[in-house]
């Protein structure tokens, strides 16, 4: 969606292929409405499509030949298929009706389809998706326990999500691992667990776990929902594209090993955030545009084809910013929907700011590292060595 938006703005003809019945990917089928309003999502997508983007839903890319056919019909292909294949625990039988993977659970919950999993659910995982599954289950009337390898402080989920889940009645057992599950027929299932010491690795997703001796315990439940991460479902595409593990390999310009095929988002990166995928789509669109310049055209004649950022610029640290021009002001407190209302409605939990709060928040911003033409450098330079030139400034080194 992000790449399509940027390329269409530049005047290119764009076709979006989507495997699901509707556009939106994980934003629609993974992230619950209480975190991302469907009205907002639908409005954003509608504005992109209204630019003249052709959309073909229910079109799945599975085999190498599918990609070859797609490439033959277009000048460039950008792959952003996400990470849709759920990781599975080796010690669980996923053919059992009381075992469900988190992605399937969330897709059903977001579509309003209640799964017959009983009253007591245990959600295995400590990330945002696990919290989404747990909190969605609470809204469906389940009692929920989250079983996480990590301690509360180590959990990948944001602190705010954990606190909101606690407020909504989700229980947490942290620093523990599921060893095996035993079906007890009418009594439900017995989950045999053990306490562990979780040691994170140097790379995201890598870790070691050390069981604590004589720390076993049993949880009673009716069903288990596992949400321990997802991988790209590359399928037959691995025959055409270079890959490293479960990720497609690209260069700095998002180009894959196949000529004219680019890729981004969760299928190329472990930075699993919507904002990361949106940014990658934008940068890939500019890279693609530069390869599609008409014969004889120069990049200077196509300002939209120039990157509008400098990834090599150093960040400006707080201690280098003069904070004296603005009075200190406290951050606006977060406004949350009442807990009782959360469990019976799908409205967003984190409420927005009112107009007055929003304006006050904007005045707290120092636009760190970005020149906003405030002219302070001109006014306050004791040597009058800074001169305004157009939309920027130059330093008169003879006087500096």
Helices (H) and strands (E) in the chain, counts: 11, 20
CB neighbours of 215 closer than 8 A, spacing ≥ 6? 194, 195
Three-class DSSP category at 253:
coil
pLDDT lower than 70: segments of the chain: 295-316, 325, 367-369
Q: How far apart are CA 227 and CA 165, in angstroms?
A: 16
Q: Which pLDDT belongs to residue 352?
A: 86
Q: Which pLDDT belongs to residue 307?
A: 53
Q: Which pLDDT belongs to residue 356?
A: 92
Q: Could you tell me the pTM of the whole model?
A: 0.81
Q: What are phi and psi of 354, to 5 degrees?
A: -80, 175
Q: Which pLDDT belongs to residue 284?
A: 95
Residue 248, strand partner residues? 243
Q: Which pLDDT belongs to residue 193?
A: 96
> Residue 345 CA to chain centroid, in angstroms?
24
């Amino acid at each position: 969606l992000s790449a399509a938006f940027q390329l269409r703005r530049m005047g290119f003809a764009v076709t979006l292929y989507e495997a699901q019945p509707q556009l939106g990917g994980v934003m629609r089928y993974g992230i619950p409405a209480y975190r991302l309003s469907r009205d907002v999502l639908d409005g954003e997508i509608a504005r992109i499509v209204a630019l003249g983007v052709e959309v073909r839903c229910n079109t799945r890319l599975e085999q190498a030949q599918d990609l070859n056919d797609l490439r033959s019909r277009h000048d460039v292909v950008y792959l952003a298929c996400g990470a849709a294949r759920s990781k599975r625990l080796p010690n669980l039988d996923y053919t059992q009706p009381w075992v469900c993977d988190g992605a399937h659970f969330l897709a059903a919950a977001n579509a309003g389809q209640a799964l017959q999993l009983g009253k007591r659910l245990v959600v295995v995982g400590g990330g945002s998706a696990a919290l989404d599954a747990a909190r969605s289950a609470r809204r469906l009337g389940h009692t929920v326990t989250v079983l996480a390898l990590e301690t509360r402080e180590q959990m990948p989920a944001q602190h705010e999500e954990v606190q909101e889940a606690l407020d909504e009645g989700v229980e947490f057992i942290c620093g523990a691992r599921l060893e095996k599950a035993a079906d007890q027929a009418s009594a439900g299932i017995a989950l045999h667990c053990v306490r562990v010491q979780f040691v994170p690795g140097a790379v995201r997703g890598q870790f070691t776990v050390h069981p604590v001796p004589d720390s076993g315990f049993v949880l009673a439940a009716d069903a288990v929902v596992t949400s321990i991460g997802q991988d790209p479902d590359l399928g037959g595409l691995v025959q055409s594209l270079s890959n490293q593990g479960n990720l497609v390999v690209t260069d700095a310009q998002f180009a894959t090993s196949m000529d004219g095929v680019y890729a981004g988002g969760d299928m190329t990166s472990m930075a699993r955030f919507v904002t990361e995928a949106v940014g990658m789509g934008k940068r890939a669109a500019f890279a693609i545009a530069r390869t599609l310049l008409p014969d004889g055209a120069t990049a200077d004649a196509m300002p939209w084809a120039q990157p509008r950022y400098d990834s090599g610029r150093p960040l400006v640290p707080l201690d280098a910013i003069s904070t004296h021009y603005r009075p200190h002001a406290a951050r606006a407190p977060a406004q949350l929907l009442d807990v009782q209302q959360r469990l019976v409605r799908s409205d967003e939990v984190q409420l927005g700011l009112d107009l007055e709060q929003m304006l006050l928040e904007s005045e707290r911003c120092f636009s760190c590292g970005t020149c906003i033409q405030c002219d302070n450098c001109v006014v306050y330079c004791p040597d009058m060595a800074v001169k305004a030139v157009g939309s920027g400034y130059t330093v008169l080194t003879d006087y500096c």
